[in-house]
């Protein structure tokens, strides 16, 4: 019998390797002081062993190097400033870190500093900076985070918290955590009742933003998960203590189900992998606890956990210089998932890919990783079917393998989403450990900052028509979705040769009436050749076309050279050699993102074509290992609407007699 079958039979009578059996008892049948949400006492040996595990040890050692005074000082600063956005988070993270060390290596000094921190948090009048109508406290991230991690610290300290402190702590969690999170979820579900979300007076200048639609916008993205998860955990802890707990639990369950419905049927997540990670951190603890204590929902039916794990793997982009996972950072993503939450997902998927993803594609950053990472969980690497992937989001992700130096191409088609950029038909390419076609990391979230330009089409490996990209949001509502759409028209998977065509016309025509056709076709001949065919057609007025190709230059180590129809992008460990052919005399030239040096230096190759009604631009790129290498032979010949390409081992023809080019391997 599989673990999934056990879960369905008993709701929570599941034994995952290293995890204790779940109780399957309703919370009303338990002593609230003995009710456990996060781990069982039988898990402690595994948790303590995790502190020495190669994956967790560097993080744990960092925590352990901090004396109890670090927590004391962080809490004192927050108590003095009342600054919730940064100082509260610093204080709660310090409490988390100290509690993790106490769980593994308990000392009296550390225990006392945590108890003192709890007293400070109880005494604070509120834990969040959001308001509705100027007075009602709502809690999206800070109140939810505080409530969850106070519950966790309560569980770790156990009997060290006396009855009086526990009573006061649970009241604070109920009133300043759960009720505030309930207010938020209610507003998301009933936006017509909202008086007007805003920041409190102290934090009013944090963003220049209009929140009129925020209950609807946030109710349909990852920020629903945070208050819903916290509300659910608090309700489970407060059953039998607070009369509101049953209402809160019912609300949390429905809201979590509503959030999980935002995932695509294949398990992919529209906001990118970093926001998938955040969603797992805020949702999985509640799902796990609900399964332990209630067990009346088969969470494995609420979302495609198998597909989610596969999506996590397809979004991997090799490794960073420090050995941590690199990711396909579409939109605002920066980092990969976290091992603790991934191991929990393995419960509901019964998929050994979870064990592999937790160890090889995850980055530990939280106490949950110490608690829930299981190095003994079943582990199996991804199947060959995931080497080439077109997902439900219309993102294409293709690779030559799963090693750090393998070749990976990622392509962004699809529709709008929270945290998106103006990046339709944008391509990334990493090989030999180098991002030779890059998606810049660190775009500003605030439209007032010059770094907002990093979100525009001009900052991506896509096309500009008449010097302009497709439209984007103005930022008045934050990083919400735009009106830009692109669609994959054809996708051909032939193993080591993959090609596809994406139509972004509907995006560009919003601001350019003359944009009659904006197609991009990509042919990836693994591992070292990529061919990009841009087909642009204008109606009534001839216009220029520019196709930009940015390397990673975060370290200042990228260089660009152009020579006639050829160009070279150089990084310390690899080079990209390009050749441009067209029917409009397109040539590559050096350019850069138009921002000041304070924002960054972003050089690019810009393939420029003069004004014409119809453009066919073929950019052939071949990569070689090493900072300096001989340019490989690249040849492109045109005969009418037939283009013959020779590059490396690739011999192919591209015919543009139909809307979607016909590609034939020779």
Q: How many domains does the chain have?
A: 3
Q: Is residue 342 part of a domain?
A: yes
**How big, in percent rounded to 5, are the helix, strand and coil portions of the chain?**
35, 25, 40
C-alpha pair distances (Å), 382 with each of 306, 307, 406, 470? 11, 12, 15, 36
Does the pLDDT value for residue 10 go beyond 70? no
Q: Is 617 helix (H, G, I), strand (E, B) or coil?
A: strand
Do 408 and 423 share a structural domain? yes
Do 404 and 378 share a structural domain? no
Structure tokens at 392: 């439900």
| Dist CA 402 CA 486 (whole Å) | 28
Residue where one domain finishes, among candidates 386, 411, 432: 386
C-alpha pair distances (Å), 478 with each of 177, 217, 418? 25, 10, 9
Element housing 622 (H / E): strand 614-625
CB distance 552 to 571 below 8 Å? yes
Residue where one domain finishes, among candidates 337, 365, 386: 386
The separation between CA 46 and the C-alpha centre of its own chain, rounded to angstroms, equals 29
| Dist CA 98 CA 386 (whole Å) | 40
| Dist CA 227 CA 143 (whole Å) | 8
pLDDT for the residue numbered 299: 95
CB distance 295 to 22 below 8 Å? yes
Q: Is residue 473 part of a domain?
A: yes
The residue range of the domain holding 568 is 389-632
Do 420 and 368 share a structural domain? no
Tokens 């059996």, residue located:
21
Does the pLDDT value for residue 393 go beyond 80? yes
Does the pLDDT value for residue 384 go beyond 80? yes
CB distance 542 to 552 below 8 Å? no
Do 147 and 282 share a structural domain? no
Does the pLDDT value for residue 1 go beyond 60? no
Average pLDDT for residues 495-519, to the nearest whole number? 97
Do 10 and 147 share a structural domain? no
Q: What is the DSSP letter of 125?
A: S
Pairing of strands 487-494, 408-412: unpaired
Count helices and strands (H / E) in the chain.
18, 26
| pLDDT tens-place string over residues 446-486 | 999 999 999 999 999 999 999 999 999 999 999 999 999 99
Average pLDDT for residues 363-374, to the nearest whole number? 97
Structure tokens at 5: 């079958």
At residue 142 the predicted structure's pLDDT band, cuts being 50, 70 and 90, is: very high
Q: Is residue 58 part of a domain?
A: no
Average pLDDT for residues 27-50, to the nearest whole number? 86
Q: Is 265 helix (H, G, I), strand (E, B) or coil?
A: coil
At residue 18 the predicted structure's pLDDT band, cuts being 50, 70 and 90, is: very low
| Dist CA 423 CA 526 (whole Å) | 24
Do 449 and 583 share a structural domain? yes
C-alpha pair distances (Å), 103 with each of 97, 152, 330, 459? 10, 11, 37, 46
At residue 656 the predicted structure's pLDDT band, cuts being 50, 70 and 90, is: very high
Do 131 and 233 share a structural domain? yes
Q: Could you tell me what percent of the chain has a pLDDT over 90?
A: 92
DSSP-assigned beta bridge partners for residue 644 = 637, 653
Does the pLDDT value for residue 207 go beyond 90? no
Q: Could you tell me what percent of the chain has a pLDDT over 70?
A: 95
Does the pLDDT value for residue 326 go beyond 80? yes
pLDDT for the residue numbered 632: 92
Do 612 and 463 share a structural domain? yes
Q: Is residue 663 part of a domain?
A: no
pLDDT for the residue numbered 9: 35
* CATH number of the CATH domain containing 570: 2.70.98.70
At residue 628 the predicted structure's pLDDT band, cuts being 50, 70 and 90, is: confident
Residue where one domain finishes, among candidates 337, 357, 386: 386
Q: Is residue 307 part of a domain?
A: yes
| Dist CA 67 CA 94 (whole Å) | 10
Tell me: cis bond preceding 471? Omega within 30 of 0 counts.
no
Do 628 and 617 share a structural domain? yes
| pLDDT tens-place string over residues 515-543 | 999 999 999 999 999 999 999 999 999 99
Q: Is residue 519 part of a domain?
A: yes
pLDDT for the residue numbered 30: 65
| pLDDT tens-place string over residues 417-450 | 999 999 999 999 999 999 999 999 999 999 999 9
pLDDT for the residue numbered 33: 78
pLDDT for the residue numbered 630: 84
Do 446 and 358 share a structural domain? no
pLDDT for the residue numbered 2: 41
Round the average pLDDT of the chain to a whole number and report it: 94
pLDDT for the residue numbered 31: 77
The separation between CA 282 and the C-alpha centre of its own chain, rounded to angstroms, equals 13
Do 520 and 374 share a structural domain? no
Q: Is residue 250 part of a domain?
A: no
pLDDT for the residue numbered 29: 56
Write down how long the chain is: 666
Does the pLDDT value for residue 290 go beyond 90? yes
Does the pLDDT value for residue 396 go beyond 70? yes
Element housing 182 (H / E): helix 179-189
Q: Is residue 363 part of a domain?
A: yes
Average pLDDT for residues 225-239, to the nearest whole number? 98
Does the pLDDT value for residue 21 go beyond 80? no
Does the pLDDT value for residue 24 go beyond 60? no
pLDDT for the residue numbered 657: 87
Do 557 and 472 share a structural domain? yes
CA atoms 355, 145, 123, 33: torsion sign: negative
Higher pLDDT, 26 or 559: 559
């Amino acid at each position: 019998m599989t673990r999934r079958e056990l879960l369905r039979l008993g709701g929570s009578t599941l034994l995952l390797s290293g995890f204790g059996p779940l109780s399957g008892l309703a919370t009303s049948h338990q002593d609230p002081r003995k009710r456990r949400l996060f781990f069982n006492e039988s898990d402690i040996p595994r948790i303590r062993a995790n502190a020495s595990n190669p994956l967790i040890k560097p993080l744990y050692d960092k925590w352990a190097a901090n004396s109890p005074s670090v927590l004391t000082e962080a809490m004192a600063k927050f108590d003095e400033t009342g600054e919730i956005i940064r100082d509260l988070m610093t204080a709660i993270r310090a409490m988390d870190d100290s509690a993790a060390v106490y769980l593994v290596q308990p000392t009296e000094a550390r225990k006392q500093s945590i108890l003192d921190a709890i007293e400070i948090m109880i005494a604070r009048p509120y834990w969040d900076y959001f308001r509705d109508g100027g007075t009602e406290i709502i809690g999206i991230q800070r109140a939810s985070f505080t409530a969850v991690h106070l519950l966790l610290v309560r569980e770790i300290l156990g009997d060290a918290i006396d009855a009086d402190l526990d009573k006061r702590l649970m009241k604070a969690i109920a009133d300043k955590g759960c009720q505030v999170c309930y207010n938020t979820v209610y507003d998301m579900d009933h936006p017509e009742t909202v008086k007007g979300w805003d920041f409190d007076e102290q934090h009013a200048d944090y963003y220049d933003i209009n929140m009129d639609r925020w209950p609807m916008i946030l109710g349909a993205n990852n920020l629903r998960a945070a208050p819903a998860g916290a509300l659910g955990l608090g309700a489970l802890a407060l059953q039998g203590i607070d009369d509101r707990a049953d209402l809160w639990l019912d609300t949390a369950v429905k809201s979590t189900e509503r959030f999980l419905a935002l995932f695509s049927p294949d398990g992919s997540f529209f906001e990118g992998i970093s926001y998938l990670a955040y969603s797992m951190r805020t949702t999985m603890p509640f799902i796990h606890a609900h399964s332990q204590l209630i067990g009346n929902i088969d969470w494995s039916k609420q979302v495609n956990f198998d597909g989610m794990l596969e999506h996590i793997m397809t979004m991997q982009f090799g490794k960073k210089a420090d050995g941590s996972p690199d990711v396909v950072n579409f939109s605002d993503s920066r980092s990969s998932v976290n091992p603790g939450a991934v191991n929990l997902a393995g419960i509901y998927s019964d998929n050994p890919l979870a064990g592999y993803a937790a160890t090889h594609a995850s980055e530990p950053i939280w106490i949950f990783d110490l608690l829930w990472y299981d190095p003994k969980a079943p582990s199996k690497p991804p199947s060959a079917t995931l080497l080439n992937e077109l997902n439900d989001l219309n993102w294409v992700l293709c690779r030559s393998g799963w090693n750090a130096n393998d070749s990976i191409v990622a392509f962004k088609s699809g529709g709008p989403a929270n945290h998106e950029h103006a990046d339709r038909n944008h391509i990334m390419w990493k090989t030999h450990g180098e991002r030779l076609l890059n998606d810049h990391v660190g775009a500003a979230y605030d439209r007032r900052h010059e770094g907002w330009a990093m979100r525009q089409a001009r900052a991506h490996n896509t096309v500009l028509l008449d010097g302009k990209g497709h439209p984007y949001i103005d930022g008045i509502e934050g990083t919400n979705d735009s009106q830009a759409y692109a669609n994959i028209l054809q996708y051909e998977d032939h193993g080591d040769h993959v090609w596809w065509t994406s139509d972004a016309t509907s995006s560009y025509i919003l601001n350019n009436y003359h944009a009659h056709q904006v197609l991009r076709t990509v042919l990836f001949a693994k591992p070292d050749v990529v061919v990009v065919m841009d087909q642009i057609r204008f109606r009534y007025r001839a216009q220029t076309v520019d196709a930009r190709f940015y390397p990673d230059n975060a370290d200042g180590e990228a260089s660009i050279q152009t020579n006639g129809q050829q160009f070279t992008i150089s990084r310390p460990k690899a080079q990209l050699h390009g050749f441009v052919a067209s029917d409009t005399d397109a040539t590559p030239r050096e350019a850069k993102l138009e921002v000041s040096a304070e924002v960054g230096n972003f050089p690019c190759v810009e393939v420029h074509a003069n004004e014409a009604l119809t453009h066919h631009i073929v950019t052939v790129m071949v990569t070689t290992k090493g900072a300096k290498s001989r340019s490989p032979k690249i040849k492109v010949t045109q005969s009418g609407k037939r283009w013959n390409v020779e590059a490396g081992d690739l011999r192919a023809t591209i015919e543009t007699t139909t809307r979607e080019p016909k590609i034939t391997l020779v």
